[in-house]
């Protein structure tokens, strides 16, 4: 029973543990089927420079139908057991009142809200804004650089009032 050329070549490539590209790259070295066969290559280059399979019809008739792929274990590899002497037990409780992160967050939230209240309490006109230094703008919660027109300033202040409501 004959095997197709593709199946034969795929089986040969698998058994060699190679790839199609690597095998075809070797084809330039051989100019005839017999030369390629003797060297153990699967491809050769004919007189027109075309890469051809180095296979006789008898090879296709003799070949087994299909080579089974090597079976791999379905079970995963077992992890090595840990050494009981090296196991470290860590306490999950870090301190009596917690680790302090909640307290720090609470303080930061208060500081931010106080800055916003200060900024909201002072109504600033465009003329005052123009004459302010960068430090004063920062303290008031205003952007340091803004559009050069009074219209852009008023648009910013209106959006700020809406976001506070």
Residues 106 and 58 in one domain: no
- Report if residue 95 sits inside a domain: no
What's the pLDDT tens digit per position in 71-89? Answer: 676 777 888 887 777 777 6
Residue 93 clears pLDDT 70, i.e. is over it:
no
Residues 112 and 58 in one domain: no
Residues 56 and 110 in one domain: no
Q: Which of 37, 62, 87 is the last residue of a domain?
A: 62
Residues 54 and 106 in one domain: no
Q: Determine the pLDDT at residue 64.
A: 66
* Average pLDDT rounded to a whole number, residues 17-43: 87
- Report if residue 89 sits inside a domain: no
- Report if residue 10 sits inside a domain: yes
DSSP-assigned letters across all residues of the chain: ----HHHHHHHHHHHHT--HHHHHHGGGG-SSHHHHHHHT-SEEE-TTS-EEE---HHHHHHS-S-PPPPP--SSPPPPPPPPTTS-----S---TT--SHHHHHHHHHHHHHHHHHHHHHS---HHHHHH--HHHHHHTT--SS--SSHHHHHHHHHHHHHHH-
- Report if residue 73 sits inside a domain: no
Residues 109 and 54 in one domain: no
- Report if residue 57 sits inside a domain: yes
Does the model's pTM come out above 0.85?
A: no
Q: Domain tally for the chain? A: 2
- Report if residue 67 sits inside a domain: no
- Report if residue 91 sits inside a domain: no
Q: What is the residue range of 113's domain?
A: 101-164
């Amino acid at each position: 029973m004959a095997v197709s050329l593709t199946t034969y070549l795929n089986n040969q490539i698998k058994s060699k543990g190679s790839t199609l590209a690597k095998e075809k790259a070797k084809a330039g070295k051989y100019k005839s089927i017999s030369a390629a066969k003797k060297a153990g290559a699967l491809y050769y280059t004919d007189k027109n420079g075309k890469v051809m399979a180095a296979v006789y019809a008898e090879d296709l008739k003799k070949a087994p139908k299909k080579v089974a792929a090597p079976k791999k274990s379905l079970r995963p590899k077992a992890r090595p057991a840990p050494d009981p002497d090296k196991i470290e037990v860590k306490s999950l409780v870090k301190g009596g009142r917690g680790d302090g992160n909640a307290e720090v967050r609470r303080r930061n939230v208060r500081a931010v809200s106080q800055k916003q209240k200060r900024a909201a309490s002072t109504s600033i006109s465009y003329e005052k804004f123009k004459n302010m230094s960068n430090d004063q703008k920062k303290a008031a919660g205003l952007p340091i650089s803004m559009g050069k027109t009074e219209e852009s300033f008023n648009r910013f202040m209106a959006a700020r009032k809406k976001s506070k409501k």
